[in-house]
Amino acid sequence: MIEEKEINSFLSGSVVPENIFTPEDFSEEHKMIADMTEKFVLNEVMPALEKIENQEFDETVRLIKEAGELGLIGADIPELDGGLDLGKVCGAIISEKMAISRSFSITFGGQTGIGALPIAYFGSENQKDKYLPFLLTGEKIAAYALTEPSAGTDAMGLKTTAKLSDDGKYYVINGEKQWITNSAFADIFIVYAKIDNDKITTFIVEKEYEGLSTGPEEKKMGLKGSSTRSLILENVKVPVENVIGEIGRGHIIAFNVLNIGRFKISSTALGTSKRSIELATKYANDRKQFHKSISSFNLIKQKIADMTIQTFANESSVYRTAGAMQKGFEEMKANGTGYSETIAGYAVECSMNKVMSSETLDFVIDEAVQIHGGYGYMGEYEVETLYRDSRINRIFEGTNEINRIIIASTLLKNYVKQNHSIYPENGPLQHEKQTLRLLKDYYHVAIQAIHQASIDNMNEEQECAAFLANLAISIYTSESAILRAEKAINQSGEEQNGQKLDCAKVFIHETAQRSAIVGLNLLNHLNDHEEFSHAAGRLIASSKENLVETKRRIADRVIAAERYIV
């Protein structure tokens, strides 16, 4: 199965650089898509951004249509369904490049991800024929209606009901959905409701249906230019042919679509991290204190280096996952397997990327504000807006807390005993590979300690769940960074890839040390497991590198370029 293959690959064995996708592997088509998206954002969206942020939604609707005409909405939708079928890597690139459009990127993401995908992946042929052509061109806009006032993280607890009419021709839906993105101008709502009080089912609900209305715009901390309203359904009659998939299996559709949504968030967060670094370095070069640029101060350099290192590891992880998912979807087409099985196989990776990317962004933008000093607190500076906008990423598409529990529960359920990771005992990353191997050993010892302490119910033992999830994220991201650097060095030499090499080295050592310290704080809860304690101790050992000088080198390169560069 795909799930076992993916989990085994980064936790229970070795992976060679040639088997992962990296940004250095972008094809000419990838670069063309990146360039086209960037030009669309800079030339079309940014001039209208002030109007968008003031909720002049006519501008948003106009630009969604323009994005559709360029093919950006249907880029990773199957060709048979009217899309361009360019793959998940292109989808990630588009989401990343769309990030600097701020609120518009949320509208766009709602359309291309959780809005269109339920129909594209799980809809009938008639539903696809009726709705997809208009969604992919942007002529109609979709919204995803799952969350309710009493059902957020607990999506299974939704109270919206759907009752079959006496003549069997339609369902009558009643309920209220909360915080629905795109709701002010959506033409189609993907609504989740319970039939017979327990069968969660997915419906396509058109805005013209009698009894459907929306509440006023929510007053939000950030992303003020996106539409967020309640959706009210009062005896809304929905034709039976508008049921997506099987009755009672709507939660399967919801969770799989959310997996893709989580991955798209990670790509968008990555793009915003890069933008934050650009703003911070330009400001640091321009800002003079004590008769010199603040970018020359070593504590500012340390911040810029840390921002860059975290973003490099995040980027490595995002595109490794994009490449793996693209391969999985290609295998799905060849083997005839379904979307549910394929997407579920990457649930852990999607959740890991969502957690890693959203928390990396919050760290990066926080440091960007700090570098700006008092000016970073002022509304006329872009970093102030990015700071407010970024905070929601750790909440929507499943809070990072629930994603950590999903990760840990899935890993325990599918646990495979360790095959010793074997990495070549040479090369510029030799010591880092040894540390990675120790980190994997630590993970497997942690699993044993959790089992032996009989605390393997991750819904109850949430502290252990968070630790295990963080450890898995650390391993996946560290390995992605190391393999990316090694692959680049193999292809074009160490001299040309010094920045990647430096970033990979610092990231693995600091990550390993943090993981060890957090684990030691759980030691007594794990009944003072001796092997676990020893494994943590091995990770705390200092790096052989001078990490202070390494970070200064990283920062100097970024400061000179005034943008994220690896």
User: What torsion, rounded to 10 degrees, do the Cα atoms 53, 57, 61, 62 define?
Assistant: -80
240 and 294 co-located in one domain: no
267 and 311 co-located in one domain: yes
pLDDT tens figures, 444-489: 999 999 998 998 899 999 999 999 999 999 999 999 999 999 999 9
Res 419 pLDDT > 90? no
**Residue matched to tokens 């995908």:** 117
Supply the range of the domain harboring residue 298. 252-394
247, 263, 278 - which closes a domain: 247
pLDDT of residue 172: 98
276 and 370 co-located in one domain: yes
Tell me, yes or no, whether 6 lies in a domain.
no
Q: What is the mean pLDDT of residues 180-193?
A: 97
The CATH number covering residue 129 comes to 1.10.540.10
371, 394, 417 - which closes a domain: 394
pLDDT of residue 520: 87
Res 52 pLDDT > 90? yes
Tell me, yes or no, whether 566 lies in a domain.
no
d(CA 507, CA 361): 16
Task: Supply the mean pLDDT for the chain.
Answer: 93
Indicate the pLDDT class of residue 534, thresholds 50, 70 and 90: confident
Please, what is the angle between helix 347-372 and helix 382-390, to 10°? 150
Please tell me what DSSP assigns to residue 293: E
Closest by CA to 138, choosing from 67, 200, 195, 194, is 67
User: What torsion, rounded to 10 degrees, do the Cα atoms 366, 367, 371, 375 define?
Assistant: 0
Which tokens is 40 given? 């669309």
Q: Is 397 a catalytic residue?
A: yes
Radius of gyration of the chain (CA): 24
388 and 294 co-located in one domain: yes
pLDDT of residue 1: 35
The CATH number covering residue 211 comes to 2.40.110.10
409 and 387 co-located in one domain: no
140, 168, 197 - which closes a domain: 140
Q: Which residues pair with 205 in a beta bridge?
A: 189
pLDDT of residue 100: 96
Q: Please say whether the beta carbons of 106 and 181 come within 8 A.
A: yes
285 and 326 co-located in one domain: yes
Which tokens is 168 given? 């069997």
117 and 147 co-located in one domain: no
Which tokens is 53 given? 């942020």
272 and 414 co-located in one domain: no
Among 382, 384, 397, 479, the active-site one is: 397
Res 5 pLDDT > 60? no
Indicate the pLDDT class of residue 12, thresholds 50, 70 and 90: confident
Q: What is the mean pLDDT of residues 80-108?
A: 95
pLDDT of residue 9: 66
Indicate the pLDDT class of residue 7, thresholds 50, 70 and 90: very low
Residue with more model confidence, 4 or 165: 165
Residue with more model confidence, 420 or 334: 334
pLDDT tens figures, 15-42: 889 999 999 999 999 999 999 999 999 9
d(CA 517, CA 427): 29
The CATH number covering residue 423 comes to 1.20.140.10
Tell me, yes or no, whether 7 lies in a domain.
no
Indicate the pLDDT class of residue 4, thresholds 50, 70 and 90: very low
314 and 300 co-located in one domain: yes
Q: What is the mean pLDDT of residues 319-346?
A: 92
Q: What is the mean pLDDT of residues 356-362?
A: 98
pLDDT of residue 2: 36
Q: Please say whether the beta carbons of 230 and 215 come within 8 A.
A: yes
150 and 37 co-located in one domain: no
Which tokens is 456 given? 């393997």
Tell me, yes or no, whether 8 lies in a domain.
no
Q: Please say whether the beta carbons of 440 and 474 come within 8 A.
A: no
Res 388 pLDDT > 70? yes
pLDDT of residue 421: 60
132 and 148 co-located in one domain: no
Tell me, yes or no, whether 10 lies in a domain.
no
pLDDT tens figures, 225-268: 999 999 999 999 999 999 999 999 999 999 999 999 999 999 99
Number of domains observed in the structure of the chain:
4
Tell me, yes or no, whether 83 lies in a domain.
yes
Tell me, yes or no, whether 1 lies in a domain.
no
Tell me, yes or no, whether 493 lies in a domain.
yes
pLDDT of residue 251: 94
Indicate the pLDDT class of residue 425, thresholds 50, 70 and 90: low
Q: Percent of the chain, pLDDT > 90?
A: 84
Indicate the pLDDT class of residue 157, thresholds 50, 70 and 90: confident
410 and 557 co-located in one domain: yes
Q: List the single range of 48-52, 337-341, 498-502 with lowest mean pLDDT.
A: 337-341
